[in-house]
Amino acid sequence: MVLTLYKLDASPPVRAVYMTIEILNIPDVQYVDTNLFKGEHLTEQFLQINPQHTIPTLKDDDFIVWDSHAICGYLATKYGKDDSFYPTDLKKRAIIEQRLHFDSGILFPTIRGTLEPILFFGNKNVKEEDVKKINSAYALIEKFFNSQWIAGNEITIADICCVSSISTLNEIIPIDRNLYPNLQAWLDRFSGEDFYKKGNEPGLLQLSELLKSKLAS
């Protein structure tokens, strides 16, 4: 069956799913634009699919799941040629889950708290308290690195979900390489990866340009 993904390209969680699709080389994905700025996620049709009215939302035949972390895990389990992208080893999986919860509990809420007032409610600057939250998130994640990737020596869904958020935060407050060298080195590693170029960079550019236009208007 063809997978259907309800999405908005600029969304960090959507970009995490895009990168996962690229890494797993999943064919025949049908994409449905869902414009949050026009309230398309609040239509009765969409609410019947996802009562939480969030994107991304994935439909696989009669199975529906939302939340990018859940979607990435589902796709990795269904389409992965092995378990390297989402290991089944108990300890490796626990580290990955911790990183995913850090994204959902710290990184993405920081993005949303910072950008929502600007993109939806007309604020013209990034609040000082949000700057502090972003730098606090950088300081925390800097301490996670004891290997090449965020949860070990191979790329996993933890890297994908976190980099969609970190690359977004970097557009708001650039990472200080001197303060957070491990974090910056990790982010730099993605620049040569095709899945990152295809799955993250176009939407990230859209969001960056939208943010600049809102702040300048």
Q: Taking the C-alpha atoms of 42, 43, 45 and 51 in order, what is their torsion angle to the nearest 10 degrees?
A: 20
| Of 211 and 2, the one with more pLDDT | 211
Decide if 17 contacts 40 (C-beta within 8 A): no
Q: Is residue 85 part of a domain?
A: no
Decide if 102 contacts 162 (C-beta within 8 A): yes
* 217 has a pLDDT exceeding 80: no
pLDDT band at 21 (very low <50, low <70, confident <90, very high): very high
Give me the mean pLDDT over the 102-109 stretch. 97
Confidence (pTM): 0.95
CA distances from 91 to 32, 87, 148 (A): 37, 9, 17
Q: What's the domain range around 195? A: 90-216
Q: Is residue 50 part of a domain?
A: yes
Owner of token pair 């960079």: 201
Are 22 and 111 in the same domain? no
CATH number at residue 55: 3.40.30.10
pLDDT score of 1: 67
User: Which residue, of 34, 53, 79, is where some domain finishes?
Assistant: 79
Give me the mean pLDDT over the 106-113 stretch. 97
Are 105 and 194 in the same domain? yes
Are 123 and 202 in the same domain? yes
For 28-76, the pLDDT digits (tens) are 899 999 998 899 999 999 999 999 999 999 999 999 999 999 999 999 9
pLDDT score of 130: 96
pLDDT score of 123: 87
Are 50 and 132 in the same domain? no
Are 72 and 120 in the same domain? no
Are 138 and 194 in the same domain? yes
* 135 has a pLDDT exceeding 70: yes
Are 207 and 150 in the same domain? yes
If one counts the domains in the chain, the total is 2
User: Which residue, of 36, 60, 79, is where some domain finishes?
Assistant: 79
Are 100 and 169 in the same domain? yes
> How many angstroms separate the most distant Cα atoms in the chain?
50
56 preceded by a cis bond (ω within 30 of 0): yes
Q: What is the DSSP letter of 153?
A: S
d(CA 29, CA 38): 24
For 70-86, the pLDDT digits (tens) are 999 999 999 999 999 99
Are 189 and 102 in the same domain? yes
Helices marked H in the chain: 12-24, 44-49, 68-79, 90-102, 108-121, 128-142, 157-172, 181-189, 194-199, 201-216
Q: Is residue 157 part of a domain?
A: yes
What is the percent of the chain with per-residue pLDDT over 70, rounded to a whole number?
99
For 169-211, the pLDDT digits (tens) are 999 999 999 999 999 999 999 999 999 999 999 999 999 999 9
CATH number at residue 147: 1.20.1050.10
* 2 has a pLDDT exceeding 90: no
Are 129 and 52 in the same domain? no
Q: Taking the C-alpha atoms of 49, 17, 172 and 129 in order, what is their torsion angle to the nearest 10 degrees?
A: 60
Hey, what amino acid is at 153? N
Mean pLDDT of the residues in the chain = 95
Owner of token pair 């809102």: 214
**140 Cα distance to chain centroid:** 18
**In 3D, which of 60, 46, 43 has the Cα closest to residue 5?**
60
* Catalytic positions: 11
